[in-house]
Amino acid sequence: MKRAMKKLIAVLMAALMLASLCSLSAFAKSRDAAAGTGKVKIYKVVTSFGDSVAAGVSTSTYEAAHKTKEAKTNYFVRVPGTYVDRVATAVRAKKVYPMAQPGMRSEELRMLLTDDYNGDGHETYVTTALNGFTTPGGKYKGKDPVKDYKKLRALYQKSVREADLITLGIGFNDVWFSILAAAVELNETGKVSKTPELTLFKNAEKLGSMGKALEQAENALNTVMKITPYIPIITEAGIEAKARYFVNYRAIVERIYSLNPDVTLVAIGYHDALVPGKQFDVTNILNYLVVLQPSFEAMNAYTMVRPTLYGTYYYVDMHGAETVMNSTKTWDPHPTDAGHRFMAKRILEVLPKA
């Protein structure tokens, strides 16, 4: 049985690698044309949108960067060694807007960039959690998190208007939160409600942080993934989240170009974030590959193909980036320092040369 399981895993991994190669070959021509020769172009203002990956969570410099004098009054600090920092240095940027936030979904980014879009109805819980990140000191003390969060709109839209180069890596949490939320409800009640994300967000409120809620949810996911009848339910949660993401991503890209038609936009592909290392038993590895990775490959395909109307839009394949999860026994899908070096190199390869 174990031998057959290992063979099946090998086949699945080969299929994922083939999909990655197809993604690379599809854009190889445009990438090579963009690479050209000589030094990369100068981009005076660089803006980064994204979640905890773009923010640099789990890098060796992240915590220190958020304990500096600047961080006491401004959450949005540049974290040395991240792919954003490395790219900004390479393109000789004079100003950097590091606007990525841990926990951010495409819902929140779309809400911040678009004045007449107010989220999916979960924004109260999400913004309460996110304001824990965006408030200096990590604690939100306001009374109206949605209203206060929307105050960031002016800054986010300014960072688009002024940018010469924008990196966009968003969407992981769209699927990840939905799957974790479904797992929490399955683990607790054996069924999934119409709004499972609210259960996850309410848990974050009760526990005092999104981090604690996610840790609890990840343990629940590890449990329910071993129960065969739950697999299609978890899968469905990911499918619904992807559908919402496709709508949001298109709106985000269109909004960026409406604010700044001449900007160069680099779409960050999803790395192998949830391909586990040694911390899971063989059956769980199979389930993770079947349920989770295909969702991110579908999002990669959409991100790669959808915005083809823009001549300054570049997609970057990030398969192969080292993560804490696939290099240690720790459950952590974030890229390591080496992973960020790899990602920066990939970005610089697609940017036009001077």
Question: Could you report the per-residue pLDDT of 34-74, keeping only the tens digit for each?
Answer: 333 458 899 999 999 999 999 999 999 999 999 898 888 88
Give domain status of residue 42, yes or no: no
Give domain status of residue 179, yes or no: yes
C-beta atoms surrounding 158 within 10 Å: 13
Mean pLDDT calculated for residue range 4-28: 43
The band of 334, judged by pLDDT with boundaries at 50, 70 and 90, is: very high
Convert the pLDDT of each residue in 73-83 to its tens digit. 888 999 999 99
- Burial class (CB within 10 angstroms; exposed 0-12, middle 13-18, buried 19+) of 169: buried
Share of the chain above pLDDT 90, in %: 44
Mean pLDDT calculated for residue range 220-247: 88
CA geometry: angle 179, 180, 184, nearest 5 deg:
120
Domain that holds residue 200: 47-53+80-350
Segments of the chain assigned E as strands: 45-50, 95-98, 165-169, 264-268, 313-316
Asked if residue 227 has pLDDT above 90, the reply is: no
The whole-number pLDDT of residue 303 equals 92
Averaged pLDDT of the chain? 82
Q: Domain tally for the chain?
A: 1
Share of the chain above pLDDT 70, in %: 79
Asked if residue 172 has pLDDT above 60, the reply is: yes
- Burial class (CB within 10 angstroms; exposed 0-12, middle 13-18, buried 19+) of 201: buried
- Two tokens at 99? 């606007």
Asked if residue 327 has pLDDT above 90, the reply is: no
Quote the CA–CA distance of 148 and 282 in Å, as a whole number. 46
Mean pLDDT calculated for residue range 306-330: 84
Convert the pLDDT of each residue in 267-311 to its tens digit. 999 987 766 555 555 556 666 667 777 888 899 999 998 666 788
The whole-number pLDDT of residue 77 equals 93
> Are residues 16 and 289 in contact, defined by beta-carbon separation less than 8 angstroms?
yes
Give domain status of residue 6, yes or no: no
Give domain status of residue 107, yes or no: yes
State the pairing for strand pair 45-50/264-268.
unpaired
The whole-number pLDDT of residue 277 equals 56
The whole-number pLDDT of residue 278 equals 53
- Burial class (CB within 10 angstroms; exposed 0-12, middle 13-18, buried 19+) of 143: exposed
The whole-number pLDDT of residue 115 equals 93
Give domain status of residue 61, yes or no: no
- Two tokens at 236? 């469905």
Domain of residue 320, CATH code:
3.40.50
Give domain status of residue 154, yes or no: yes
Quote the CA–CA distance of 99 and 97 in Å, as a whole number. 6
Residues of the chain by 3-state class (helix, strand, coil), percent to 5:
60, 10, 35
Find the Cα–Cα–Cα–Cα dihedral 84, 86, 88, 91, rounded to 10°: -140
More confident residue, 8 or 196: 196
The whole-number pLDDT of residue 344 equals 98
Long-range pairs, 208-215, Cβ under 8 A, ≥24: 209/129, 209/132, 210/102, 210/103, 210/129, 210/130, 210/132, 214/180
